[in-house]
A and B are shown apart, each in its own frame.
Chain A
Amino acid sequence: MTQDHLATELPNFPMTRTCPFSPPAQYAKLRESEPLSQAVLKVTGKPAWLVTTHEHVKAVLGDSRVSSNLKLPGYPHQFHIPEEMLREVRLMLLSMDPPDHTAQRRYLIPEFTARRMRALRPRIQEIVDARIDAILAAGGPVDLVSALALPVPSLVICELLGVPYEDHPQFEEWSALMMNHDISPEEYGAAVVGLDMYLDKLITAKEAEPGDDLISRFIEKNREEPIADHTDIVTMARLMLVGGHETTANMISLGVLGLLEHPEQLDAVKADPELLPGAVEELLRFFSISDSGTARVALEDIELDGVVIKAGEGILSLNNSANHDESVFPDADTLDIRREEARSHLAFGYGIHQCIGQNLARIELEIVYGTLFRRIPGLKLAVPMSELRFKDEALVYGVHELPVTW
């Protein structure tokens, strides 16, 4: 059998969901029969390895023989990135390997300590309350995505970074475009360039006159001990801004929907707010919205359970599959906010690149779910579930609109 012939036998990736609440059905079959398998990436037509079990995803993401460098041949791209753009592109934190990754992450982590995150609680609560005041004043039905799910993380990340929130309609649009699998290389390029030009101006202003914000503190630290140039700082700011938007926004809408569709569990959360942190972990596990966000390329041959991933081959470690692995999460396709092992999920990734904003996300979700159902206890869907449109073609899963009333 020739390589070409083999390639035609491979399944396509991404795989299609049959139920908006469940991972693609093929994942369960792959975990059972072929936990390390190959697929052809729909956007590029190139092959990549799919890693589907909890154990293997942890092994791959914790392995120093894999690289996150998207410029390396074999890297499993999930966007149409124009060739000339790929040559020019600056690596962002997510795409860096040590020691560059270690240096830049160390500049950022003081901003995300548990203490800092706890200190943000009152401000996040204020932001959430103000949005819910506006929702109640407007009266139902409202689209919860545009009225709450997007503005809350957007406001929080803007304040943290020192980005003026009044510019949000524009950068939210760029941010959403960059998360879409299904756009042309030109559209993708235009979104990145647009956002970079915006941030370039903003950072130039902060270089001249620093404020009390994450970007300004990064600039000052970098002056004392340079690890980045101006363009690297623009790239860092783009990652923080986009990363803070799409993920939490989608988790807010999906989590609300997940709770509405499981009324007995929603009632339990309403009755006992102490169940909230566990519910947040379970919703993160259940939806695993950044399923294939962990692309890697092997730097050396890596043997896992008798399968050899060769140097130069691309790897996708599927969080959504790992988080539905029955050997770790019994009855994994059932949402259970009291699940004891929920926190072992890999929704924030694993290894050195594990999400730097994970505890910010946890706090935002806890405050949003808790406050929303406390203040609008009669909240319900304003349309049948079957009418909702899910982001099947996006790198981060979610729902386009969530019409609710009460």
Chain B
Amino acid sequence: MRVSVDPDRCVSAGQCVMLAPDVFDQDDDGIVTLLQAEPPAELHTVVRQTASLCPVRLIQITE
């Protein structure tokens, strides 16, 4: 799994950070940052969930 984000569109709903704090973080301005572009298998389900919950669909996943 490969994850990418588009921080320019972030509205900081924060659901990604709440659900997968090992993969996503927020910078001091509240904007999403990616901690791991290739998360381990045990995080795949939750990362897929963050992608579907992001209100502006800025989390892209390639598998």
Contacts and interface: CB of A to CB of B under 8 A. Distances in A.
A356 B55 contact: no
Main secondary structure of the interface of A (DSSP, over half): helix
Interface residues of A, number: 26
Given A62-B55, A343-B53, A354-B55, A114 B26 contact: yes
Interface in B28-61: 28-31, 49, 52-53, 55-57
- Which of the listed residues A62, A114, A359 has the most CB atoms from chain B within 10 Å of its own CB? A114
Given A109-B12, A112-B14, A356-B12, A343 B49 contact: yes
Interface in B1-26: 11-15, 17-19, 21, 26
Contact of B30 (A113, A348, A353): A113
Residue in A113, A115, A349 with the greatest tally of chain B CB atoms within 10 Å: A113
Interface residues of B, number: 20
A352 B12 contact: no
Contacts of A110: 28-30
Interface in A309-360: 343-344, 348-356, 358-359
Nearest to A117: B14
A106 interface: yes
A263 to B, nearest CB: 29
A61 B55 CA distance: 9
B17 A114 contact: yes
Contacts of A111: 30
Nearest to B28: A110
Given A344-B53, A349-B55, A351-B56, A358 B29 contact: no
Contacts of B11: 105, 109, 352-354
Nearest to B17: A114
A114 B55 contact: no
Contacts of B53: 343-344
Interface of B: 11-15, 17-19, 21, 26, 28-31, 49, 52-53, 55-57
24 contacts: A62-B55, A62-B56, A62-B57, A105-B11, A106-B29, A109-B12, A109-B31, A112-B14, A112-B30, A113-B12, A114-B14, A114-B17, A117-B14, A343-B19, A343-B49, A343-B53, A344-B52, A348-B13, A350-B55, A351-B55, A352-B11, A358-B14, A359-B14, A359-B18
